[in-house]
Structure 1
Amino acid sequence: MHTHTPRFLTIRTAVVAATAAAASAFAILPAATPAAPGAAAVLELPAASVAAQPALAATAPVVETAVKPVASGASVLSIVKSKLGSPYRYGSAGPSAFDCSGLMYWAFKQAGVTIPRTSRAQSTFGTPVSKAALQPGDLVFFYKPVSHVAMYIGNGQVVHASTAGQPVKISNLASMPFSGARRI
């Protein structure tokens, strides 16, 4: 069992209190504080006594910020499926023709979410998902290095813009070498 000395606990308490005080101070600042060109911004905070610092840690407010919700997999999935049969065109991101990453980029954009444009960049965006945990709407990547992306639709199937001469279509997940998956 490891025990802490009273001095360690006092320092730890002071650090926690100072952190909470700083968080409280920054929470009330506007998003951007204008300063004169060439001048450094100065922030003056009231001094708090060491005795008051533990009280600050206990009363520091929780700051909530509004975050735009990410489009659900189901809504993006219905957008992607609406393009079944559209022609493949390398480098195209819709609305009438697509390459693989252009289809995903366009669909997410229609849902109000901006993702990277290329399949390789998309493969590092969002949260990694294992093959066993795939859900409809997840992006699935193929080949190493990544050179193709599709959207998982369930039951071991994906929708994708595959190659020249083939329209946007549904294929079996196992028909291409799986490289990874991401949830946006």
Structure 2
Amino acid sequence: MKQKIMLCILLMLLSSMDVALAKGKKKKAKKIQRTEAVYEEIDNFDFLYADDYNVNMSFASTDDILRQATSFIGTRYRLGSKGPNAFDCSGFTSYVYRQNNIAIGGSSRDQYARNIPIRREEMQPGDLVFFTSPNSGRNVGHVGIILDYDPIENTFTFIHASTKNGVKISSSTDGNYSRRYIGVRRVAR
């Protein structure tokens, strides 16, 4: 009788071990399937974005330009200065772009002439915006870098080196700038 009981206990133990082993194999199989599914998902994303490598680099470059530009807020204005301790308007824009290995021209007129004309409705952060100045008549006399554009209101904010306050952020709705607006240029990268 003892032998029969021992045999039953042994069979129960063996069968429970088989069940446990089978469950472990199923869990392992599920983990492998999950891993493969994640891998396939990543492969799909890589495939989708592989052709957009240059576009992503241009977005990163725009972020770098805006970060660099805003780091100079409060830097004083000085006519003819090209930075980094003081700037005039075109000195500021050319310095910021030059730090990102992009040549845009030295003067505001040169920057206006050298870069790609776009319509106001097409402006994006990182574009150059141009205005007249009191001394330039109807010609280009001031430049800044677009920070933000609101297509519904057709307004924008920009960063520039102003004669009174140095590097600062202004809005296109400021009376002085709304009357003096000339156009926008996209920097070829």
Contact 1:130–1:181 (CA under 8 A) maintained in structure 2: yes
Structure showing greater Rg: 2
Identity over the aligned pairs, expressed in percent? 39
Alignment partner, residue 89 of structure 2: 100
Alignment partner, residue 131 of structure 1: 120
Number of aligned positions between the proteins: 116
TM norm structure 2: 0.57
Contact 1:140–1:150 (CA under 8 A) maintained in structure 2: yes
Query: CA shift at 1:166, angstroms?
Result: 1.2
Query: How large is the RMSD of aligned CA atoms in angstroms?
Result: 1.8
More helix as a share of residues: 2
Q: How does 1:88-167 map to 2 (within 5 A)?
A: 88-143=77-132, 144-155=138-149, 156-163=156-163, 165-167=164-166
Contact 1:73–1:138 (CA under 8 A) maintained in structure 2: no
Q: Distance in 2 between matches of 1:183 and 1:138?
A: 5
Q: For each residue in 1:15-47, what CA deviation from the matched residue of structure 2 results, as whole angstroms up to 9, or x when unmatched?
A: xxxxxxxxxxxxxxxxxxxxxxxxxxxxxxxxx
Q: Which amino acid aligns with 1:162?
A: S
Q: Distance in 2 between matches of 1:181 and 1:159?
A: 14
Alignment partner, residue 46 of structure 2: none
Q: Which runs of 5+ in 1 are unaligned?
A: 1-66
TM norm structure 1: 0.59
Q: For each residue in 1:57-79, what CA deviation from the matched residue of structure 2 results, as whole angstroms up to 9, or x when unmatched?
A: xxxxxxxxxx9x77832221111
Q: Which runs of 5+ in 2 are unaligned?
A: 1-53, 133-137, 150-155
Runs (4 or more) in structure 1 with deviation over 4 Å come to: none
Q: Which amino acid aligns with 1:102?
A: G
